[in-house]
Copies of this chain bind each other. A is one copy, B any other.
Amino acid sequence: MSDVRDQLRSEAEALDAKDELAAKRAEFVLDETVYLDGNSLGALPANVPGRLAEVMTHEWGKLRIRSWDESGWWTAPERIGDRIAPLVGAAPGQIVVGDSTSVNVFKALVAAVRIARDPGNPSEGRDEIVVDATTFPTDGYIAESATRLTGCRLIPVAPGDVPGVLGDRTAAVLLNHADYRTGRLHDLPGLTAAVHAAGALVVWDLCHTAGALPVGLDEHGVDLAVGCTYKYLNGGPGSPAYLYVREALQPRFDSPLPGWNSHAEPFGMRPEFEAADGALRGRVGTPDILSMLALEASLDAWDGVSVDAVRAKSLALTDFFLRCVGAYVPTGRVESLTPAAHAERGSQVALRCEGAGDVMKRLVEQGVVGDFRAPDVLRFGFTPLYVSFGDAERAARVLASTLA
Contacts and interface: CB of A to CB of B under 8 A. Distances in A.
Interface of A: 29, 31, 35, 37, 40-41, 43-44, 48-49, 52-53, 56-57, 60-62, 64-68, 73, 99-103, 106, 110, 133, 136-138, 140-142, 144-145, 149-150, 156, 181, 228, 230, 236-241, 255-261, 263, 267-271, 273, 284-292, 294, 364, 369, 371, 373-374
Contacts of A73: 237-238
Contacts of A369: 64-66
Contacts of A291: 288-291
Contact of A374 (B256, B269, B271): B269
Contacts of A142: 257-259
A357 to B, nearest CB: 11
A53 B56 CA distance: 10
Name which of A141, A149, A369 has the most chain B CB atoms within 10 A of its CB: A141
A390 to B, nearest CB: 19
B237 A290 contact: yes
A61 B44 contact: yes
B256 A149 contact: yes
Contacts of A49: 53, 56-57, 61
Contacts of A374: 267-269
In order of increasing CB-CB distance, the 10 nearest A-B pairs are: A100-B285, A102-B259, A237-B289, A102-B285, A138-B260, A44-B61, A238-B288, A29-B61, A141-B273, A238-B286
8 contacts: A53-B53, A64-B369, A100-B286, A102-B260, A138-B259, A142-B257, A237-B286, A290-B294
B137 A237 contact: no
A62 B73 CA distance: 29
A257 B290 contact: no
B57 A289 contact: no
A101 B268 contact: no
**Number of copies of this protein chain within its complex:** 2
A258 B141 contact: yes
A44 B60 contact: yes
A102 to B, nearest CB: 3
A40 B239 CA distance: 23
A138 B239 CA distance: 23
Nearest to A181: B269
Contacts of A100: 99, 259, 284-286, 288
A49 B285 CA distance: 24
Given A41-B65, A156-B271, A228-B286, A263 B102 contact: no
A251 to B, nearest CB: 18
A60 B40 CA distance: 12
A235 B230 CA distance: 22
Nearest to A35: B64
Nearest to A98: B100
A106 B44 contact: no
